[in-house]
Amino acid sequence: MGSAFKYDSRYVARVLILATLYYITSKIGFNLSSVAEQVTVIWPPTGISLAAVLLFGPDIWLGIFLGAVLANLSVHEPVIVALSIGAGNTLEALAGAWLLHRFAGPSPNLAHMRDVLILILCAALLSTTISATIGTTSLCLAGLQPWKHYFPIWFTWWLGDAGGDVIIAPLLLAWYYTPYLSLSRRGMLEAAALALTIVAYTYIISVRPEVSGLAQFYPSAVFPLLIWAAIRFGTRGVTTVNFLFYGIAIGLTVMHLGPLSHMQTGLVLDILQTFTITAGITGLVMSAAIRERAESEETEQESRIRLDVVLDNIVDGLITIDDKGTIRSYNKACTTIFGYTAAEVIGRNVRMLMPEKHATHHNEYISNYLKTGKAKIIGIGRELEGLRKDGTLFPMELSVAEVKMGHGIRYFSGIIRDISERKNIEGNLQEAHLYQQQMIRDLQLKEGQLLRYTQDLKRSNQELDDFAYIASHDLKEPLRGLLTQTSFLLEDYKNKLDVDGLRRLHRLQYLSLRMEKLIGDLLYFSRLGRTDLAVQELDIGEAISEIRLMMDTFLKERNASIVVPQPLPLVVCDKLRIVEVLRNLITNAIKYNDKPERVAEIGFMNTAQAPHGPETNVFYVKDNGIGIDPEFHDAIFRIFKRLENPAVRQEEGTGSGLTFVKKIIERHNGRIWLESASGKGSTFYFTIGKIDT
Partner 1 sequence: MSDDAYFRPRPIIVVDDNEDDYEALTRAFKKVGLYCPVTLCTSGQMALDTLKNESTGMPQGKAELPSLILLDLNMPGLDGFQVLKKLKGDDIFKVIPVIIWTTSSNKKDIDLCYRHGANAYMQKPVIFDQLLESVKRFKEYWFETAFLPEQES
**To 5 degrees, how large is the angle CA 229–CA 234–CA 236?**
90
CA dist., res. 523 & res. 517, Å (int): 10
| Minimum CB distance to partner 1 smaller for 436 or for 485 | 485
Nearer to partner 1, 177 or 524 (CB): 524
Within 10 angstroms of residue 178's Cβ, the number of other Cβ atoms is 14
Helix (H) or strand (E) holding 366: helix 362-372
Compute the distance between CA of residue 169 and CA of residue 99 in angstroms, rounded to an integer: 15
User: Shortest Cβ distance from residue 580 to partner 1 (Å)?
Assistant: 17
Least distance (Å) between residue 642 CB and partner 1: 22
Nearest approach, Cβ of 473 to partner 1 (angstroms)?
5
Q: Provide φ and ψ at 219, rounded to 5°.
A: -60, -25
Give the integer Cα–Cα distance in Å for 67 and 53.
14
User: CA-to-CA distance for 69 and 77, rounded, in angstroms?
Assistant: 10
Query: Minimum Å distance from CB 533 to partner 1?
Result: 15
Closer of 24 and 519 to partner 1 (Cβ): 519
Which residues make beta-bridge pairs with 412?
A: 321, 402
Side chain identity at residue 671, one-letter code: R
Residue placing its CB nearer to partner 1 in the complex, 143 or 478: 478
**Cα–Cα distance for residue pair 525/129, rounded to 1 Å:** 128
Neighbour tally for 438: CB within 10 Å: 10
The rounded Cα 214 to chain-centroid distance in angstroms is 73
At residue 384, the 3 state secondary structure works out as: strand
Q: How far is the CB of 660 from partner 1 (least distance, A)?
A: 17
- Least CB distance to partner 1 at residue 472 (A): 6
Footprint of partner 1 on this chain (CB under 8 A)?
469, 472-474, 476-481, 483-485, 487-488, 513, 516
Which C-beta is closer to partner 1: that of 24 or that of 475? 475
What is the nearest approach in angstroms of partner 1 to the Cβ of residue 530? 12
Name the DSSP letter for residue 219: G
Q: In whole angstroms, how close is the CB of 480 to partner 1 at the nearest point?
A: 5
* Distance, CA of 291 to CA of 285 (rounded, Å): 10
Q: Name the residue nearer to partner 1 (CB basis): 512 or 656.
A: 512
Question: Is 6 or 480 the residue whose CB approaches partner 1 more closely?
Answer: 480
Distance of CA 85 to the CA centre of its chain: 67
Nearer to partner 1, 473 or 649 (CB): 473
The least CB distance from residue 641 to partner 1, in Å, is 24
Nearest approach in angstroms of CB 528 to partner 1 is: 14
16 vs 475, which CB is nearer to partner 1? 475
Question: b or e along 616-639 (b: 16 or more beta carbons within 10 Å of the residue's beta carbon)?
Answer: ebbbbbbbbbbbbeeeeeeebbeb
- What is the nearest approach in angstroms of partner 1 to the Cβ of residue 465? 9
d(C-alpha 319, C-alpha 337), whole Å: 12
Kindly tell me which of 55 and 513 has the beta carbon lying closer to partner 1.
513
Would you say 361 or 480 has its CB closer to partner 1? 480
Q: Which is nearer to partner 1, 419 or 471 (CB)?
A: 471
In whole angstroms, give the CA distance from residue 80 to residue 74.
13
- Beta carbons within 8 Å of 463's beta carbon, 6+ residues apart: none
Helices (H) and strands (E) in the chain, counts: 23, 14
Q: Pick between residue 449 and residue 485 the one whose CB is nearest to partner 1.
A: 485
Pairs from 78-87 (Cβ < 8 Å, separation ≥ 24): 78/142, 78/144, 80/138, 80/142, 81/138, 81/139, 81/141, 81/142, 81/144, 84/134, 84/135, 84/138, 85/38, 85/131, 85/134, 85/135, 85/138, 85/139, 87/134
Q: Residue 529 Cβ, how far from partner 1 at the closest point, in Å?
A: 16
**Minimal distance, residue 507 CB to partner 1, in Å:** 16
Instruction: State the nearest-atom distance from the C-beta of 502 to partner 1, in Å.
Output: 16
Could you tell me the end-to-end alpha-carbon distance of the chain, in angstroms, rounded to an integer? 90
**478 versus 529: smaller Cβ distance to partner 1:** 478
Give least dist CB 499 to partner 1, A: 22
Work out how close the CB of 471 gets to partner 1 at its nearest, in angstroms, rounded to a whole number. 10
The smaller minimum CB distance to partner 1, of residues 390 and 491, is found at: 491
For helices 44-56 and 2-30, give the axis angle rounded to 10 degrees: 160
Cα–Cα distances (Å) from 58 to 64, 86, 226, in that order, read 10, 15, 32
**Burial zone of 349 (CB within 10 Å; 0-12 exposed, 13-18 middle, 19+ buried):** middle
Nearer to partner 1, 422 or 527 (CB): 527
Give me the least distance between CB of 479 and partner 1, in Å please. Answer: 7
Please, which residue, 488 or 640, has the CB nearer to partner 1?
Answer: 488
Residue of 102, 125, 228, 235 whose CA lies nearest to 171: 235
Contact 574, 668 (CB under 8 A): yes
Beta carbons within 8 Å of 444's beta carbon, 6+ residues apart: none
CA 501 from chain center: how many Å?
A: 104
d(CA 338, CA 647): 98
